[in-house]
Amino acid sequence: MDYQVFDTTLRDGAQREGISYTVADKLAVARLLDEFGVGFIEGGWPGAMPKDTEFFERAKTELDLKHAVLVAFGATRKAGVDVATDPQVQALLDAGTPVVCVVAKSDIRHVERALRTTGDENLAMVRDTVRHLVANGRRAFVDCEHFFDGFRHDPAYTASVVKTAIDAGAERVVMCDTNGGMLPSMITKAITEVVERTGVSPELLGIHCQNDTACAVANTVAAVEAGVQHFQCTANGYGERPGNADLFAVVSNLQLKLGRKVLPDGCLEKATRVSTALAEIANIAPDTHQAYVGAAAFAHKAGLHASAIKVDPLLYNHVDPAVVGNDMRILVTEMAGRASIELKSRELGIDLAGHPDTLSTVTRRVKDLEAVGWSFEAADASFELLVRSELPGAEYARPFALESYRVQVEHREDDTVLCEATVKVRVHGERVIATAEGNGPVNALDEALRTALANHYPQLKTFELADFKVRILEGSHGTNAVTRVLVGTSDHNRRWTTVGVHENVVEASWTALVDALTYGLGKS
């Protein structure tokens, strides 16, 4: 079967609050979608806004699409206007795309109240526009706006819009759940009925679902199961209000669950990378919990899951993460069991299979520490140091030992604030004392510690403090509040995170800083 994967990230996706693509962004999005193997890329509405007109103009020379064809989107001709003189329709032809998709009203209430015209004139608008596009060498698709609501209200009228479009030469008529209020059973029922009523084969129909019931992906899949072969989606589900059907979830479901081949070979594996790249271009933080492609889509926290995953990862994953280019991760938290600790350690390059005592000790220590505010979930480096410190023979010798530190904060008459820290450490048998200033106590401590270690560890120069997060955790059972600090550190090659917890924010920061340098030195 020839499925038509129709992407509208650049048109409907751009209707999401907060997205504002530049023309260069749009070109970059189109290239990524093409690489992902979609068949159609709806690039925008030429004539409606200068950016979209420019996009289609530049696409003529700057896009070299391998899989996809470009689609210009617009509306049917205006009521009472000759299609040949409608500037909006002319702009669609000027875009020079092989395919044009026009939105048509298919709910009689919208025809009469929003367009303020008659049902017959709306049918003429559809007929004239499709014929005009086809006569000018374009493949014409018709998006029937409010199809499902219209079909429930007045099935005969909505069906007549579908029939008119097909008879005029439209290649596909797309049933749009514009208000996004449908559920899968409603979609299936409506498709069965419209096919019966019009005699139009489901293969000539398409589906476009908004996500207002959180069912856009399910509704799209239901339509395909009902025989529809053209489906419209947006990357990461971007779109107006709660968005559209997420392209990555729809194609993954169709290929992996229903065995429908909707993308060229080798494309589905790019899903995670392309999804993240498209989020970056949209300037929206990737959704960690997005199905299939989110960073947490295959992250397991529960100890019971890990114990089964140890036997076979597929026992707790609905698909192999690699098929969508994602990875499985084991999270170590208070919910970990020995299997979680063993798998996570293996991920970090430490084989604990032959160390049952270490496994039990680390499991207990993680639970005890998390009970008082520690969190290892995002701090792999601190977890690794903890595991190594429990290995027989402590194979990870600490590169320095702290004798003491002191930090002072001075608020001066002229309102400047100066921080000064002194650290005393023992390193390679030498006692070193160093003092440094900083713009805050943690910065001063970091500087002083690096100064103290500089002669022994010149590679410290490449370490950079990349992130610093502080969270105050409410005390429980009569204890005081504690502070949890996460420190992100990077060098030229890698990035790692460490954690410290204490009632005193400086001490919590110090613990995380010391772990950050210890871990980095152990790896460099």
Ligand X SMILES: CC(=O)SCCNC(=O)CCNC(=O)[C@H](O)C(C)(C)COP(=O)(O)OP(=O)(O)OC[C@H]1O[C@@H](n2cnc3c(N)ncnc32)[C@H](O)[C@@H]1OP(=O)(O)O
Stretches 97-105, 278-286, 442-450, 478-486: which one binds ligand X (CB under 6 A)?
A: 97-105
Which residues does residue 422 pair with via DSSP β-bridges, in sequence order? 406, 435
Q: Using the rule CB under 6 A, is 247 a contact of ligand CC(=O)C(=O)O? A: no
Residues 75-94 that bind ligand X (CB under 6 A): 75-76, 78
User: Which position's Cβ is nearest ligand CC(=O)C(=O)O?
Assistant: 176
Residue 208 near which of ligand CC(=O)C(=O)O, ligand X, none (CB within 5-8 Å, type-dependent) = ligand CC(=O)C(=O)O
Q: Residue 130 Cβ, how far from ligand CC(=O)C(=O)O at the closest point, in Å? A: 16
> Between residues 48 and 323, which has the closer beta carbon with respect to ligand CC(=O)C(=O)O?
48
Is 317 buried (19+), middle (13-18) or exposed (0-12) by CB count in 10 A?
A: middle
Q: Considering the complex, state which of residue 33 and residue 176 has its C-beta at the smaller distance from ligand CC(=O)C(=O)O.
A: 176
Give the number of other CB atoms < 10 A from CB of residue 24.
12
12 binds ligand CC(=O)C(=O)O (CB under 6 A): yes
CB of 14 to ligand CC(=O)C(=O)O, least distance (A): 11
Beta bridge partners of 426: 401, 431
Residues 6+ apart with CB under 8 A from 50: none
In sequence order, which residues have a C-beta less than 8 Å from that of residue 137 and are 6 or more positions away? Answer: none
Min dist. Cβ of residue 254 to ligand X (A):
24
Go through the chain and tell me how many residues it has. 524
8 A C-beta contact, residue 126 and residue 161: yes
Q: Is 122 in the site for ligand CC(=O)C(=O)O (CB under 6 A)?
A: no
Query: What are the Cα distances from residue 29, in Å, to 41, 243, 310, 469, 514?
Result: 10, 18, 39, 32, 42
Within 10 Å of residue 253's Cβ, how many Cβ atoms?
Answer: 20
Site for ligand X in 242-281 (CB under 6 A): none
> How far is it, in rounded angstroms, from Cα 500 to Cα 193?
62
Q: Is 485 in the site for ligand CC(=O)C(=O)O (CB under 6 A)?
A: no
- 42 is a site residue for ligand X (CB under 6 A): no
**Binding of ligand CC(=O)C(=O)O by 143 (CB under 6 A):** yes
User: Does residue 106 interact with ligand CC(=O)C(=O)O by CB under 6 A?
Assistant: no
Contacts of 206 (CB under 8 A, 6+ apart): 4, 6, 141, 172, 173, 174, 175, 228, 229, 230, 231, 232
Told to check if 42 binds ligand CC(=O)C(=O)O by CB under 6 A, we report: no
Is the distance from CB of 71 to CB of 100 less than 8 angstroms?
Answer: yes
Check residue 7 for interaction with ligand CC(=O)C(=O)O (CB under 6 A). no
Match 């990357």 to its residue by tokens: 235
Work out whether 208 is an interface residue with ligand CC(=O)C(=O)O (CB under 6 A). Answer: yes
Pick from 88, 164, 178, 253: which binds ligand CC(=O)C(=O)O (CB under 6 A)?
Answer: 178
How far is the first Cα of the chain from the last one, in angstroms, to the nearest whole number? 54
213 scored as a contact of ligand CC(=O)C(=O)O (CB under 6 A): no
Binds ligand X by CB under 6 A, chosen from 16, 26, 31, 105: 105
Rounded distance, CA 16 to CA 211, Å?
12
Q: What gap in Å lies between CA 71 and CA 271, rounded to an integer?
A: 22
Q: Smaller CB distance to ligand X: residue 107 or 420?
A: 107
Q: What is the DSSP pairing of strand 40-44 with strand 482-490?
A: unpaired
**Contact status: 48 vs ligand X (CB under 6 A):** yes
27 interacts with, out of ligand X, ligand CC(=O)C(=O)O, none, CB within 5 to 8 A per kind: none
Cα–Cα distances (Å) from 8 to 11, 30, 174, in that order, read 5, 10, 13
- Residue 287, classed as helix, strand or coil, is coil
Whether the Cβ atoms of residue 102 and residue 108 lie closer than 8 Å to each other: no
* Residue 210 interface partner, choices ligand CC(=O)C(=O)O, ligand X, none, CB cut-off 5-8 Å depending on type: ligand CC(=O)C(=O)O
Residues from 111 through 170 that contact ligand X (CB under 6 A): 114-115, 125, 145
H or E stretch including 42? strand 40-44
Please, what is the minimum distance in Å from the beta carbon of residue 206 to ligand CC(=O)C(=O)O?
10
User: Can you name the residues that pair with 496 across neighbouring β-strands?
Assistant: 489
Assess 52 for contact with ligand CC(=O)C(=O)O (CB under 6 A): no
Task: Count CB atoms within 10 A of the CB of residue 370.
Answer: 18
- Binding residues for ligand X, rule: CB under 6 A, are 12, 15, 45, 48-49, 75-76, 78, 103-105, 114-115, 125, 145, 178
- Binding residues for ligand CC(=O)C(=O)O, rule: CB under 6 A, are 12, 103, 143, 145, 176, 178, 208, 210
